Amino acid sequence: MARVTVEDCVEKVPNRFGLVLLAAHRARAISTGAPLMVERDNDKNPVVALREIADGAVQPDELREALIGTLQRVDERTEAEEEAETLALIADPQHMHMSEQELVRALQSDRDGGQEERY
């Protein structure tokens, strides 16, 4: 079992905070069944991830792109669909009796996917 140190990994990923994010992302991938690039040697997933980074078995740029992809929110609706929904909401007779503030709140709720404010 080869001991991995942060200094070994910092050569590949110069920012220690970025290293932690990438290693954590790789460790989660390993825990969900991603194939190992180095021998496990009875190490836990975070240690295996750090060893993979230190050995160059995984590329930091590829890990970074994969991490960014998991953090991005993809909205599959087009602007035309959103505009059509907004027009349908305004044209609904139920909304003719709403105050302007209630209508704006309903439109914002529709835009945010129905999520409530978290304040």
Q: Where are the domains of the chain?
A: 6-71, 79-111
Cα gap 119→113, rounded to integer Å: 17
pLDDT digits (tens, 9 = 90+) for 68-86: 988 887 767 777 887 888 7
Cα gap 51→58, rounded to integer Å: 10
For residue 51, what are the contacts with CB-CB under 8 A and spacing of at least 6? 2, 4, 38, 43, 57
Pick 63 or 78 by higher pLDDT: 63
Fold (CATH) for 6-71: Eukaryotic RPB6 RNA polymerase subunit (3.90.940)
Q: Residue 5: what residue type?
A: T
Rounded to two decimals, what is the model's pTM?
A: 0.60
